[in-house]
């Protein structure tokens, strides 16, 4: 069996984190938050809280990844801390909710933004078999990206580096031009919708909206999944997580300020293509096309990064469990886990066809927050249980950092379950399905994960 190659440096790893985080969410979810909260102050505050939470998580994963520099991310951490069942369930959740659902969301969002250039897509005409044109575009993008990664790990990473660099330059350009030349209204930041909730309904809306925000920040742990491919994992893995996440926090706050500068909460409420709505006011018709082009590139870059990271989890799962050994097969010439990539493509395609963007985001956001919290708790448990474990990087602010992450995540999960019970229940059913699959396929050998 050919193993993954060590070729990854700090630059590519940081770009991978940037590409993983900046995806469909930031270009679509502010409209959902505007509808639920109706208050620009609350919207911006949630993005600050989400950024703080992501940085806390990155610090914790930095410690875990440097101590256990193996491919798989939380699959490795949970297996080491709580046993094979938790690790297996995290791997299963990664396949469905961790990567396939966000890729599906990014590709569906891309199809929506492409309606600006191809108006015929706006009506979403039915094709052969009743497939909608927008879903057909999304499926096409999914499999093109899979094919690029199957062609070779190094070439796939170079493609990701280039498109992410273009993406970051484009997003920074939007921020600069909006501040310098945008025809927005500063008064929009003071506009509060008449339907803005207060009291208990506000807490429920904040919890639901924070799940959207956490979905948008998901990917702050991206480089941890590729720990086996770092040239210097113990040094560069924590750095890539912190650098990438810190940059994204600033970008996200800037983009939301641009949206609210270009349109008030009433105009943004319930809108998927918030970038289009805001850019029409800020830049006019020509500017809209340029902004939309940048957003489309950004969505492709995000889907590319997740297409790279996800199969590394399934690779790690295949190494541990004989029933899934095929997922750990790496093409000797191309250095790519081909079967793991194909499996992710199939699951992503099914999710593309299964629901709306907001439903996919809520489902994925709830499930990722749950397992991200479990992984962060590993820092606390391993500090007590295995104090002798080498820790080249130690979490700043310990134990406040993981405790803050766990407290806010727990509060978010509670209110999200109350506000979006269907999506939350589907997330829990996904976890249960992973547990059932573990029980059925668990290897009966002395060295199997327990």
The CB density around residue 158, as the number of other CB atoms within 10 Å, is 12
Q: Quick one: which of 374, 378, 409 has its CA closest to 391?
A: 378
253, 179 Cβ separation under 8 angstroms? no
φ, ψ of residue 325 in degrees (nearest 5):
-55, -30
293, 156 Cβ separation under 8 angstroms? no
Q: How far apart are CA 291 and CA 120, in angstroms?
A: 20
Q: How far apart are CA 89 and CA 106, in angstroms?
A: 24
Half-sphere exposure of 408 (CA within 13 A, CB side): 23
3-state secondary structure of 126: strand
Point out the residues of the chain with pLDDT beneath 70: 1-4, 24, 443-450
Q: How far apart are CA 85 and CA 415, in angstroms?
A: 27
Quick one: pLDDT at residue 3? 63
Q: How far apart are CA 409 and CA 210, in angstroms?
A: 9
Quick one: pLDDT at residue 4? 65
Half-sphere exposure of 336 (CA within 13 A, CB side): 19
Q: How far apart are CA 109 and CA 112, in angstroms?
A: 5
User: What is this structure's pTM?
Assistant: 0.78
Q: CATH fold of 10-441, please?
A: Amino acid/polyamine transporter I (1.20.1740)
Q: How far apart are CA 251 and CA 115, in angstroms?
A: 25
Q: How far apart are CA 109 and CA 361, in angstroms?
A: 11
Q: How far apart are CA 193 and CA 39, in angstroms?
A: 7
Handedness of CA 421, 427, 430, 434 (dihedral sign): negative
CA distances from 368 to 97, 343, 412, 428, 431 (A): 7, 20, 12, 11, 11
């Amino acid at each position: 069996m050919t193993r993954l190659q060590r070729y990854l440096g700090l630059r590519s790893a940081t770009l991978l984190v940037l590409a993983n985080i900046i995806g469909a969410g930031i270009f679509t979810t502010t409209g959902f938050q505007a509808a639920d909260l109706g208050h620009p102050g609350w919207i911006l505050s949630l993005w600050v809280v989400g950024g703080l939470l992501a940085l806390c998580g990155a610090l914790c994963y930095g410690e875990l990844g440097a101590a256990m520099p193996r491919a798989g991310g939380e699959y490795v951490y949970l297996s080491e801390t709580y046993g094979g069942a938790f690790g297996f369930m995290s791997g299963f959740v990664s396949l469905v909710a961790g990567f396939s659902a966000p890729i599906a969301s990014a590709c569906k969002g891309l199809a929506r933004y492409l309606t600006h250039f191809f108006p015929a897509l706006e009506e979403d005409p039915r094709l052969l078999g009743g497939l909608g044109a927008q879903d057909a575009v999304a499926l096409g993008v999914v499999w093109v990206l899979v094919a690029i990664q199957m062609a070779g790990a190094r070439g796939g990473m170079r493609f990701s580096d280039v498109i992410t660099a273009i993406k970051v330059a484009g997003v920074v350009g939007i921020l600069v031009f909006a501040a310098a030349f945008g025809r927005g209204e500063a008064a929009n930041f003071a506009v509060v919708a008449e339907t803005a909730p207060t009291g208990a309904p506000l807490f429920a809306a904040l919890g639901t909206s924070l799940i959207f925000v956490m979905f948008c920040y998901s990917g702050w742990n991206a480089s941890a999944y590729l720990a086996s491919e770092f040239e210097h994992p113990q040094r560069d893995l924590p750095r890539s997580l912190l650098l990438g996440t810190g940059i994204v926090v600033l970008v996200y706050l800037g983009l939301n300020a641009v949206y609210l500068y270009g349109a008030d909460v009433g105009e943004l409420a319930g809108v998927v293509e918030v970038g289009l709505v805001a850019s029409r006011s800020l830049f006019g018709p020509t500017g809209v096309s340029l902004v939309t082009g940048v957003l489309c590139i950004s969505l492709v870059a995000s889907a590319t990064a997740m297409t790279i990271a996800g199969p590394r989890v399934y690779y790690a799962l295949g190494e541990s469990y004989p029933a899934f050994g095929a997922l750990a097969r790496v093409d000797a010439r191309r250095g790519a886990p081909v079967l793991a990539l194909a499996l992710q493509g199939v699951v992503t395609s099914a999710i593309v066809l299964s629901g709306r963007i907001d439903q996919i985001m809520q489902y994925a956001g709830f499930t990722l927050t749950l397992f991200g919290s479990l992984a962060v708790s590993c820092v606390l448990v391993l500090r007590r249980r295995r104090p002798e474990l080498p820790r080249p990087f130690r979490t700043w602010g310990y134990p406040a950092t993981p405790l803050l992450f766990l407290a806010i995540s727990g509060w978010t999960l509670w209110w999200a379950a109350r506000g979006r019970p269907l999506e939350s229940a589907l997330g829990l059913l996904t976890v249960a399905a992973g547990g059932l699959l573990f029980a059925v396929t668990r290897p009966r050998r002395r060295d199997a994960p327990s």
